[in-house]
Chains A and B, each alone.
Chain A
Amino acid sequence: MEIFKDFGVEPVLILGQIVNFLILLFILKKIFFKPILNHLEKRRKIIEEGLRNAQEAQKIIEKAKKEYQETISKAKAEFNQILEDARIQANKITYDAQLKAQKNVEAMLQEAREKIAQDRINLENEVKKDMVRLVAIAVEKVTKGLITRKQSEEYTRSSLLELYQHEQKTS
């Protein structure tokens, strides 16, 4: 206790200071520190939430970017496929048209060949008919010159007789 007196330390004062300090601490804690701490806590939470939201937004953006890229590549692939299909179709149409034209030409040639053959047959028949007609005329002229009037009369009468007999048989 004399040590404390030598240094000028009053235990009652110290005790009183300690009590004052504690009371101040208690008061400050209740009135000042708590609201500030609450406020800081609130701000911290807000900041944390903001950061979380930012992270989520970043994730969404990346996901959207990925989907966009995928859609673009899909569309490109489809476009290429359509182009390829169209090319194949066009080639097929061209080939079919060529084939059809070729068939038409062949059919026309065949028709022409058949017509020529038929025309030749018709011409041959016409020539034959003319030949027969001319030969008939020639034979008639010759026969007329060879048959006498008497022979003609005899033949006419005998043919009439045959006709009468035939009519009598059939009536």
Chain B
Amino acid sequence: MNKKLLNQIVKKLFKNSFLGGKLDFLTIKGVVSVILSLPYPYSLKVLQEYKKQIAIYLRSKTLKVQSAIELSQKEIAEIEKTFKQRYCLEYTQNVIDESLIAGVIITAGDNVFDTSIKTQIRSLLKLA
């Protein structure tokens, strides 16, 4: 299967994974079963590319909040209010990472806002 044809197939399958402008889990499940019905090894190649597309989309539409301490629901809601609309994000991922020491790293699509102490220490050492 050539790359052009593969991309065309994956693009079409990806388009069909949406429901109401959003990625729908059930629709994705249906698309995956269609992919698995293809003969091997085409099914594997298509599935890998489809997975990549989904991941890229989710990454661009996810607000990722990494913090050293657990944030309250109110704080998460405040962050979502500030960033989701502005950057057209749909999903939120909250991760607790104690190695940050203090502060947060907020990833809104391609934009990263980093106030963590860990990053600041590393920046200072690089400058030195």
Contact = CB atoms under 8 A, between A and B. Distances in A.
A31 B99 CA distance: 160
Interface in A51-100: none
A143 B104 contact: no
Interface residues of A, number: 22
A163 B102 contact: no
B78 A156 contact: no
Interface size class of B (residues with CB under 8 A): 20 to 34
B95 interface: no
A139 B125 contact: yes
Contacts of B36: none
10 contacts: A139-B125, A143-B117, A149-B69, A152-B102, A153-B69, A156-B67, A159-B102, A159-B103, A163-B104, A171-B86
Interface in A134-165: 135-136, 139-140, 143-144, 147, 149, 151-153, 155-157, 159-160, 162-164
B83 interface: yes
B104 A140 contact: no
Contacts of A149: 69
Question: Interface of chain A, helix or strand or loop or mixed?
Answer: helix
A159 B122 CA distance: 18
Contacts of B68: 152, 156
Contacts of A140: 99, 101, 117-118, 121
Contact of B69 (A143, A156, A171): A156
B75 interface: yes
Contacts of B102: 147, 151-152, 155-156, 159
Nearest to B83: A167
Contacts of B103: 155-156, 159
